[in-house]
Amino acid sequence: MDNVALIVAAGRGTRAGGGLAKQWRPLGDSTVAAHAIAAFATHSGIDAVLVVTRPEEAAQLAPGVDWVPGGETRAASVRAGLEALESRAPRHVLIHDVARPLVPAAVIDAVLAALATHAGAAPALPVTDALWSGRDGLVTGVADREGLFRAQTPQGFRFDAILAAHRAHDPAAAPAADDVAVARAAGLDVAIVPGHEDAMKITAPGDFARAEAILRSRAAPGTATPSRESRMDIRLGNGYDVHRFCEGDHVTLCGVQVPHDRALDGHSDADVGMHAATDAIYGALAEGDIGRHFPPSDPQWKGAASRIFLRHAVELAAARGYVLANVDVTLVCEQPKVGPHAAAMQAEMAAIMGIAADRVSVKATTSERLGFTGRGEGIAALATAALMRP
């Protein structure tokens, strides 16, 4: 894994008003946090996204978004995220404040490019206004603005170097304003790359209006196609599977054992409904089918529970920043009767995929006694899955 984005979203965010932490407040048709996550999840150079948040607020995240508990300070939250990433051994990590939800892809590009030659890189804008010092409402002096920059995020680093820097840093002895300060205290060189005004930080109540204006400008009629940061990515996939009957006393359909005078024959547990749903998700990701990921020639999958395959597909989608919007499964058979078990199947599928039961449909039909299903030779299943990347 080369590049991981670490989104810091554990702050209380109350200065922006609204009675809710700013990261969970609405922005356009989504939330501040969702926009920040999408900026990285949709970027082709980012392999995974990890959010650091408060456990009691994790439910605000979309299903499938990877998260870890944060700390009482920003430094503690970043440290927690870095420690959680150590086992994944990424090459680079981009640390980003959730309060900057509209960071353009070009800024992320610039940080990643600079990391090819530097241990750290961060976006910034030159200070162009005059700088004063003051006291009691009066100007007491003028400061030189030459060589001064307004820092932004994401701030990118070679992972091993910034993890070591945070482990060595004592925030009580030397408070650090951001991760660049921690890196420099550890002797790391940090390159400055061009920032962008759209990468504004939401701090005060009025900042929401400015952010909304940026969103409107990106999607305004008559302008260029909305940027990939603001365009939702929706994918649909279809799955189809068939298993013949063999000797047995039950069939497993959508994770539920249904009594029957025969069983379904297959390399795994032959759960035809779950196989179709799994292939639908793989299809939406352009990732082939179950056979590509779990070859039937591999004996370790003999008799395997199909939940293993389905969960893998869901986790693969989540790793790419997609949320599973819904799954619709249709079972085609004359027997057994699916209706009495449909609710249990719906609940089981939802639990495996980590989504609400009302986002899962399981239904059945017959083929009017036509074909192999009509002759009672087996069961077929069709499934559709919808993935969204905000």
List, for residues 15-43, the tens digit of each pLDDT value.
Answer: 555 567 899 999 988 899 999 999 999 99
Indicate the range of 66-75, 97-106, 183-192, 217-226 predicted with least confidence.
217-226
Q: Read off the pLDDT band of 220 (50, 70, 90).
A: low
pLDDT mean over 283-288: 93
C-alpha distances (whole Å) from 165 to each of 76, 77, 111, 158 are: 13, 14, 19, 11
Q: Is the pLDDT of residue 254 over 90?
A: yes
Q: Is the pLDDT of residue 231 over 60?
A: no
pLDDT mean over 220-247: 71
pLDDT mean over 369-376: 89
Count other C-beta atoms under 10 Å from residue 263's C-beta.
Answer: 17
Q: Do 17 and 27 form a contact (C-beta atoms < 8 A)? A: no
Output the average pLDDT for the chain: 89
User: Two tokens at 66?
Assistant: 């990877």
> Which of 343-379 are b and which e, b meaning 16 or more Cβ less than 10 Å from the residue's Cβ?
ebbbbbbbebbebeeebbbbebeeeeeeeebeeeebb
pLDDT at 361: 94
pLDDT at 228: 43
Q: Is the pLDDT of residue 14 over 70?
A: no
- What is the C-alpha separation between 264 and 243, in angstroms, rounded? 6
C-alpha distances (whole Å) from 375 to each of 128, 261, 262, 365, 372 are: 79, 15, 14, 14, 5
Q: Read off the pLDDT band of 303 (50, 70, 90).
A: confident
Radius of gyration, alpha carbons of the chain: 26
Q: Read off the pLDDT band of 155 (50, 70, 90).
A: very high
Which one is the CATH code of 3-218: 3.40.630.10, 3.90.550.10, 3.30.420.40, 1.10.287.130?
3.90.550.10
Which one is the CATH code of 233-389: 3.30.1330.50, 3.30.930.10, 3.20.20.70, 3.20.20.140?
3.30.1330.50
Query: Which position has the token pair 């039961």?
Result: 357
Comparison of pLDDT for 14 and 358, the residue scoring more: 358
pLDDT mean over 108-121: 95
pLDDT at 19: 61
Q: Do 254 and 362 form a contact (C-beta atoms < 8 A)? A: yes
146 φ, ψ to 5°? -60, 130
Comparison of pLDDT for 267 and 337, the residue scoring more: 337
Please choose, from the candidates 303, 231, 293, the residue with its C-alpha nearest in 3D space to the C-alpha of residue 43. Answer: 231
- Among the residues of 42-201, which ranges form H helices? 74-85, 105-114, 159-168, 179-185
* Percent of the chain scoring above 90 in pLDDT: 62
Q: Is the pLDDT of residue 224 over 50?
A: no
Highest mean predicted confidence (pLDDT) among 79-83, 263-267, 339-343, 364-368: 79-83
SS3 8: strand
User: Two tokens at 32?
Assistant: 């501040």
Domain spans, the chain: 3-218, 233-389
